[in-house]
Amino acid sequence: MPLITSELVCSSASEVLQRTTAIVVQAVQPATDLAEEFKGAVAMLQFSGAETGTLVMLCSRPLARALAAATFGLSIHELGEKLVAEALGELVNQVAGALSRHIAGAGQLTLTVPTTASGDVVRLRIVQSVAAVGADVTTMGGTVHFRYCEQAAQSSACRAWLEGARR
């Protein structure tokens, strides 16, 4: 049984977005489906240890800019792509940290450095042998999608193919 559930992703994602960005969260709901294609920005990192898998955060480019502005206390016009990527990486890292605190009794987790990108098409492929759980966090600016893919033995969990993406 996986340690990380949709409910845990919901609470961790909502907590981090409200605390770090002060953006009002209108709704949070569990989600297990993943669209194959997504237009916008992505940040992801991998876990190993008590739980092994990948946490992915997806949102539209305008919402990514709004989250970055709120994270750094800047106006949207003051942000370059590098700051937007840094903010998304920091947010996915904080959500991963919140998840690790919730499952601390199960053992230690090691997190990778976040990877971020944005583009016209982000393709996600989930390997058949993994469980995907997640949360859709709705704000006034749109929805932030979080997905956690538990890695099965000897398989890759979540992979993102970024066509035409800027890293």
- What does the pLDDT look like over 132-157, one tens digit per residue? 788 999 999 999 999 888 775 434 44
Topology annotation, domain 6-163? Chemotaxis protein chec (3.40.1550)
Residues 81 and 68 sit within 8 Å (Cβ to Cβ): no
If one compares 69 and 118, the residue with the highest pLDDT of the two is: 69
pLDDT for the residue numbered 157:
40
Largest CA distance in the chain: 45
Q: How far are the Cα atoms of 77, 90, 147, 167 from residue 95, in angstroms, in the given order? A: 26, 9, 11, 21
Strand partners, 46: 54
Strands 109-111 and 115-126 come out as: unpaired
pLDDT for the residue numbered 164:
42
Distance CA 64, CA 43 (A): 10
**Residue written as tokens 């966090």?**
137
Residues 6+ apart with CB under 8 A from 89: 43, 45, 113, 114, 115, 116
User: pTM of the full predicted structure?
Assistant: 0.85
If one compares 22 and 131, the residue with the highest pLDDT of the two is: 22
Residues 117 and 111 sit within 8 Å (Cβ to Cβ): no
pLDDT for the residue numbered 125:
59
